[in-house]
């Protein structure tokens, strides 16, 4: 379960039983092409890490519809599950930031990839999107983010 008190939104899922927002079933957006994707992300507090992120965003922005920063990894992932975002990625997150939301998203049909050790073995990168978009976004991240580090 993930709860957003500011929007009174309760996302929940159980493996094999689907995902729900306020008891309504969820399905992520799919198919979505990269150039039509509304993508969410988060950014590091550390200035040097933000420079790396900015370099990647500069390459990604011309290839997507738009970018959003909502503020909480778990809630952002749930927005992918509910279809208000097409994809979400963030580096520097902990397991507790994405564990519950990751199950909600996968039960809503999204794919979830976790990359470990993005910054010298520190924390994780999470990538979540519908199956079609997931592969395209993951390829962009692997080609550009990893190279920037």
| Cβ-contact 38, 29 below 8 angstroms | no
Fold of 2-27+41-148: D-Maltodextrin-Binding Protein; domain 2 (3.40.190)
Digit-coded pLDDT (tens) for 46-76: 888 888 888 889 999 999 999 998 889 999 9
Distance separating alpha carbons of residues 141 and 127, to the nearest angstrom: 9
Distance separating alpha carbons of residues 139 and 5, to the nearest angstrom: 35
Look at residues 93, 70, 81 and name the one whose alpha carbon lies nearest to residue 128: 81
Digit-coded pLDDT (tens) for 74-123: 999 999 999 999 999 998 899 999 999 999 999 999 999 998 876 556 68
Looking at the whole model, is its pTM more than 0.85?
Answer: yes
């Amino acid at each position: 379960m993930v709860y957003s008190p500011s929007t009174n939104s309760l996302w929940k899922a159980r493996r094999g039983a689907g995902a729900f927002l306020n008891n309504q079933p969820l399905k992520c957006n799919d198919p979505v092409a990269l150039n039509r994707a509304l993508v969410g992300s988060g950014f590091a507090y550390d200035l040097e890490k933000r420079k790396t992120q900015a370099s990647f965003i500069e390459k990604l922005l011309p290839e997507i519809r738009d970018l959003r920063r909502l503020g909480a990894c778990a809630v952002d992932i749930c927005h992918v599950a509910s279809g208000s975002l097409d994809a979400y990625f963030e580096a520097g997150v902990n397991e507790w930031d994405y564990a519950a939301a990751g199950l909600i998203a996968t039960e809503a049909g999204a794919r979830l990839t976790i990359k470990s050790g993005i910054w010298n073995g520190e924390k994780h990168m999470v990538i979540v999107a519908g199956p079609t978009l997931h592969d395209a976004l993951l390829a962009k991240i692997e080609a550009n983010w990893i190279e920037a580090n």
